[in-house]
């Protein structure tokens, strides 16, 4: 489901008139729905180490180089250099004064810092991306801005989570007639996403509900 589809599903749940294009989304509630969908999408993606967020990239560390530009947008799971797993450290001082230990790295000002070596090295990063959206060309970004943008949350959970989560936050009133239904559907979708996203059959589903 793309952004416009999700918005229309929200409008249907809220008993509002659906639209055929972005140009019709001019009311305050339209703007709130658009914003909340992105908030819910980002919160769900940031809430767990989902397998669907895993990405891998490679780069080269030139010889006698301590700094390499950080080109990823995400949380690193593994960083390997020439097949050896490197350990992240918080303290950048050893890397600035050439006292860093072998097999370690750190980050500073959007750069990775390494202990220099006499020859070039091959590095590989496995990470959880912070990009929660794909555009019509398959490019990744943080927010849905175009009608054809899609969440990276797998189908059918993207529709259930974003629609029911948005309706819950928009109304934010437990006494509202459909609030309990939206809540139960949201919890069920989140639990099912957790279960189906795990590669370990022993992982138990965990339900988290996000509110402002």
pTM (2 d.p.): 0.86
The 10s digit of each residue's pLDDT in 28-82 is: 999 999 999 999 999 999 999 999 999 999 999 999 999 999 999 999 999 999 9
pLDDT at 202 over 50: no
Residue that is written with structure tokens 């957790």 in the block: 194
pLDDT band at 199 (very low <50, low <70, confident <90, very high): low
φ, ψ of residue 84 to 5 degrees: the values are -105, 130
The 10s digit of each residue's pLDDT in 101-119 is: 999 999 999 999 999 999 9
pLDDT band at 206 (very low <50, low <70, confident <90, very high): very low
Rg of the chain, C-alpha, whole Å: 21
Percent of the chain at pLDDT > 90 equals 89
Mean pLDDT confidence for 158-172: 96
Q: How far apart are CA 33 and CA 170, in angstroms?
A: 7
Q: How far apart are CA 31 and CA 27, in angstroms?
A: 6
CB 44 within 8 A of CB 153: yes
Average pLDDT over the chain reads 92
φ, ψ of residue 52 to 5 degrees: the values are -70, -5
Q: How far apart are CA 110 and CA 122, in angstroms?
A: 19
Q: How would you write 139-166 as a 3-class SS string? A: CEECCCCCCCCEECCCCCHHHHHHHHHH
User: For residue 197, what pLDDT is reported?
Assistant: 78
User: For residue 156, what pLDDT is reported?
Assistant: 93
User: For residue 47, what pLDDT is reported?
Assistant: 93
Structure tokens at 41: 């999408």
């Amino acid at each position: 489901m793309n952004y416009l589809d999700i918005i229309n599903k929200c409008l249907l749940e809220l008993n509002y008139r659906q639209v055929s294009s972005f140009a019709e989304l001019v009311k305050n509630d339209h703007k709130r729905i658009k914003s909340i969908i992105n908030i819910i999408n980002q919160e769900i993606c940031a809430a767990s180490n989902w397998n669907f967020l895993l990405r891998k990239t490679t780069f080269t560390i030139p010889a006698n180089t301590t700094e390499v530009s950080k080109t990823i947008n995400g949380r690193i799971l593994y960083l390997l250099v020439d097949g050896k797993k490197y350990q992240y450290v918080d303290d950048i001082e050893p890397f600035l004064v050439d006292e860093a230990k072998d097999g370690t790295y750190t980050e500073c000002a959007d750069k990775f810092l390494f202990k220099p070596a006499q020859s070039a090295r091959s590095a590989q990063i496995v990470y959880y991306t912070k990009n929660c959206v794909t555009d019509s060309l398959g490019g990744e970004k943080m927010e849905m801005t175009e009608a054809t943008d899609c969440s990276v949350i797998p189908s059918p959970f993207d529709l259930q989570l974003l629609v029911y989560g948005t309706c819950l936050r928009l109304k934010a009133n437990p006494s509202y007639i459909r609030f309990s239904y939206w809540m139960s559907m949201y919890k069920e979708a989140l639990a099912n996403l957790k279960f189906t996203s795990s590669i370990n059959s022993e992982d138990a589903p965990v339900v988290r509900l996000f509110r402002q």
